Structure 1
């Protein structure tokens, strides 16, 4: 028997159940993972806060995890090739990562880069693929200056590093208490608040080619529209309604095109992390049994890095 967090009703994490469940033996094309760390993301609670089309209770929680292979189905290889019992792996775009053990599609399981700690590996791919898609849809290129709203957050930090790989220069909005984090990952920080457009213009010393919004405030989108003339080079991951009105991009993991892109992006992100060129700052870890406490801390909005659950 395994222990797993499940939403048995729609609502806050406090309503979830930490249940004993049977872990099905892996069939062909499946892998059973003994979880050593589960990534913690806002999507984990947002997606079960209210009924959604196609979502049936109970819903196992958790989209990404790291662990070791406990069993592998017949004639099956993991996505990165091979795979035997005991191998260290990372899995993303799975369901049920908040668990001691989980059986998942082998196509979503990859060898874990040895240099990554389990709690880092478990938090790499959701924010990493989101950041990669934001850079992709805005066509960010070498030598350009771009604006990132919320640069000190988890997605923002991944954007900073991936933009550096592309050769782009990043101006990132943040609170002054988070400026050091933005600088650490290669960005030029500016404080959000009144006068933001003027501060960005002064810092840019030239055109702002694209704007990437991870916070969804009116200020973020207003300033993006003011500074970036080409609306196809503005993207938000928060405010879909405003995006539709303004003719800018909005990307979300549930979109079929997002799913296809993010699946394809996983090997490259693992390569970057494995070589040390993409880091995952981890602020805190919690015991798996304290998942609601971890999410309550995440909801405060300033964790200072990623959170992980440790069985």
Structure 2
């Protein structure tokens, strides 16, 4: 099959190449997915730069990518949940960084697979898993509900947009930080936008004089602001700053979970989740997709199409 690979860590795109690699084999409890779309996430190029070397083993050459939507082509032993031809999606992170989703096929544990929601096209489904599940895990850990005022740092980003939509569906009031160019988008999603940067805590306090009851930090470096605006007894999480654990918060790392992904699919089919796709790229242009992601200014999901 054709796949994108890199054979050593690199902070730029110099080690990326497209070529033929052996087809993956679906082992016991696995499904073989023919990839129709694979979402790009910042973790993909951070992994390529060695950013998770201390945490997860890596076997070179690596096929990057952890998001996938596609069609089941074959099953390993004992996989009664799925059949060939099923349209599915998955957050396909594995215990070892090696065989990712920027390829024509990927083998994934059935426990990490969910059926593709009818409301989403392939590109939207391919961009949903990691970001959507991260948002869902944050809100579940915060136990966000109708009595909450939630502050979302980086609310217009890939994870943030999902967090806003899910929290609003749960009845929470949502305040979201973003550049002014994305404020209208946040209003469309149901959030009250505030500009990030100097004076952020004061701007949040202007909107919520009694403080916010929950904070989801989706960008890092926001702990001082979080503590300044959090009401007594409030809860906070971060996906990028483990120091929150020293201040009563929780460091979130999403895990593959087909049931949680199916919950997101149900939200999409109910019309709760809008998955905005910013751009699509062929395998040969993964480097360009990484550059767009590195810029930090892309609104919506970037998607690879094999």
Normalised by the length of structure 2, the TM-score is: 0.90
Matched residue SS, 1:224: helix
Q: Tell me what 1:64 maps to.
A: 67
Q: CA RMSD in A?
A: 1.9
Q: Tell me what 2:96 maps to.
A: none
**Residues 61-119 of structure 1: CA distance to partner in whole angstroms, max 9, x if unpaired?**
11111111222234423xxx3322x3222122244110012222222222211221111
**Residues 266-303 of structure 1: CA distance to partner in whole angstroms, max 9, x if unpaired?**
22111111222112111111112110110101110011
Greater relative contact order, per chain length (Cα 8 Å cut-off, separation 6+): 2
Asked if 2 retains the 8 angstrom alpha-carbon contact of 1:3 and 1:99, the reply is: yes
> How far is the alpha carbon of 1:40 from its aligned partner?
0.4
CA distance in 2: counterparts of 1:162 and 1:292, whole angstroms: 31
CA distance in 2: counterparts of 1:213 and 1:8, whole angstroms: 33
**Residues 23-76 of structure 1: CA distance to partner in whole angstroms, max 9, x if unpaired?**
134344222211111110011121231233522222221111111122223442
**Residues 125-154 of structure 1: CA distance to partner in whole angstroms, max 9, x if unpaired?**
111111111112222221321111111111
CA distance in 1: counterparts of 2:293 and 2:25, whole angstroms: 33
In structure 2, runs of 5+ residues without a counterpart are 94-98
CA distance in 2: counterparts of 1:107 and 1:281, whole angstroms: 26
Q: Tell me what 2:284 maps to.
A: 289
Q: Tell me what 2:141 maps to.
A: 137
CA distance in 2: counterparts of 1:172 and 1:197, whole angstroms: 12
CA distance in 2: counterparts of 1:246 and 1:40, whole angstroms: 32
User: Are 1:233 and 2:231 an aligned pair?
Assistant: no
Q: Tell me what 1:208 maps to.
A: 212
CA distance in 1: counterparts of 2:33 and 2:185, whole angstroms: 33
Please point out which of 291, 296, 305 is paired with 2:300. 305
CA distance in 2: counterparts of 1:97 and 1:24, whole angstroms: 11
> How far is the alpha carbon of 1:179 from its aligned partner?
0.2
**Residues 158-189 of structure 1: CA distance to partner in whole angstroms, max 9, x if unpaired?**
11011012110001111111101111111000
> How far is the alpha carbon of 1:246 from its aligned partner?
3.2
Aligned residues: 297
User: Are 1:248 and 2:249 an aligned pair?
Assistant: yes
User: Are 1:11 and 2:6 an aligned pair?
Assistant: no
- Greater mean deviation of Cα atoms: 27-36 or 298-307: 27-36
User: Are 1:108 and 2:103 an aligned pair?
Assistant: no
In structure 1, runs of 5+ residues without a counterpart are 254-258
**Residues 204-238 of structure 1: CA distance to partner in whole angstroms, max 9, x if unpaired?**
25431011111213xx2211101114576111111
Asked if 2 retains the 8 angstrom alpha-carbon contact of 1:236 and 1:249, the reply is: yes
CA distance in 2: counterparts of 1:180 and 1:137, whole angstroms: 28
